[in-house]
């Protein structure tokens, strides 16, 4: 299997010695499920775009510290690339920012949530079960770090899982696109370190509750299995 990673950010410099950068996080995560995946990384945030779109089983769009409302030049170019990939019927996987920019590109609306920051580990309920959702789970826990959400999903998107805090958490667009608000690639130690650095940005109660949430088990391996199953689905 070959995946093109469209990288929309980097891990902060001070955290990279211990936690690595995002490409390494994704590679290590998916290696636990399927160890023969080849990755090509394109640093979209640095205007590095693929010269060819052929030969990939899927494209994964990463998270970012940037908001879609920042309206940076590379974001518009990424949206144009996504439309081209969709037109070519290529599989797309969106994570956090990737989840949001796919939705906005396809007619949804993304904005800062009135519910505030989602940080720590979030629990979401599965609303509908598809063939690729093996192993089956009624609920799952996953690391999150976001203040924006998909406020209105695109018409063609189906909600697979969500919560009162984040209704449009896991979306499927037919057999072509799967996107998730959470971060299966984030470890508990990484999100704890990131939250500590960003502590001043969060309301005190939000931060304390997020710290408590890190005691929950995390279903990142199971979610990565779902993603691989979706990619392999005809």
Per residue in 160-201, pLDDT (tens digit) is 999 999 999 999 999 999 999 999 999 999 999 999 999 999
CATH of the domain at 40: 3.40.50.880
Q: How many domains does the chain have?
A: 1
Q: What is the pLDDT of residues 212-230, one digit of tens each?
A: 999 999 999 999 999 999 9
pLDDT at 190: 98
Closest CA to 140 of 158, 157, 127, 122: 122
Q: CB–CB of 100/150 below 8 Å?
A: yes
State the pairing for strand pair 2-7/38-43: parallel
Average pLDDT over residues 108-132: 97
Q: Which two tokens stand for residue 56?
A: 């990939």
Burial class (CB in 10 A: 0-12, 13-18, 19+), 172: buried
Average pLDDT over residues 88-111: 98
Residue 202 CA to residue 207 CA, distance in Å, equals 6
Q: What are the phi and psi torsion angles at 33 (to 5°)?
A: -105, -45
Is the pLDDT at 95 greater than 90? The verdict is: yes
Q: CB–CB of 190/22 below 8 Å?
A: no
Q: What is the pLDDT of residues 136-154, one digit of tens each?
A: 999 999 999 999 999 999 9
pLDDT at 232: 96
Structural domain that includes position 134: 2-232
| Residues pairing with 61 in the sheet | 6, 94
Q: CB–CB of 63/183 below 8 Å?
A: yes
Residue 87 CA to residue 109 CA, distance in Å, equals 21
pLDDT at 145: 98
pLDDT at 234: 81
| Residues pairing with 139 in the sheet | 125
Q: What is the pLDDT of residues 32-80, one digit of tens each?
A: 999 999 999 999 999 999 999 999 999 999 999 999 999 999 999 999 9
pLDDT at 230: 98
Closest CA to 70 of 21, 144, 8, 145: 8
Residue 179 CA to residue 92 CA, distance in Å, equals 8
Please provide the average confidence, as pLDDT, over all residues in the chain: 97
């Amino acid at each position: 299997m070959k995946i093109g990673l469209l990288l929309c950010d980097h891990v902060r410099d001070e955290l990279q010695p211990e936690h690595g950068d995002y490409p390494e996080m994704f590679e290590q995560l998916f290696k636990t499920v399927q160890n023969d995946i080849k990755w090509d990384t394109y640093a979209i945030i640095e205007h590095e775009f693929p010269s060819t779109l052929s030969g990939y089983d899927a494209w994964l769009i990463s998270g970012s510290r940037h908001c879609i409302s920042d309206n940076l030049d590379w974001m518009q170019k990424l949206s144009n690339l996504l439309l081209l990939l969709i037109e070519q019927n290529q599989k797309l996987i969106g994570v956090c920012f990737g989840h949001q920019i796919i939705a906005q590109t396809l007619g949804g609306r993304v904005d800062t949530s009135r519910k505030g920051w989602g940080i720590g580990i979030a629990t979401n309920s599965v609303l509908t079960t598809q063939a690729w959702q093996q192993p089956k789970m009624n609920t799952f826990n996953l690391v999150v770090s976001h203040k924006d959400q998909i406020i209105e999903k695109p018409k063609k998107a189906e909600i697979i899982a969500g919560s009162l805090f984040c209704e449009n958490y896991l979306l499927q667009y037919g057999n072509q696109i799967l996107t998730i608000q959470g971060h299966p690639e984030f470890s508990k130690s990484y999100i704890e370190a990131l939250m500590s650095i960003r502590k001043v940005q969060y309301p005190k109660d939000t931060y304390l509750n997020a710290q408590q949430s890190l005691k929950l088990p995390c279903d990142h391996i199971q979610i990565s299995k779902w993603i691989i199953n979706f990619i392999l689905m005809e």
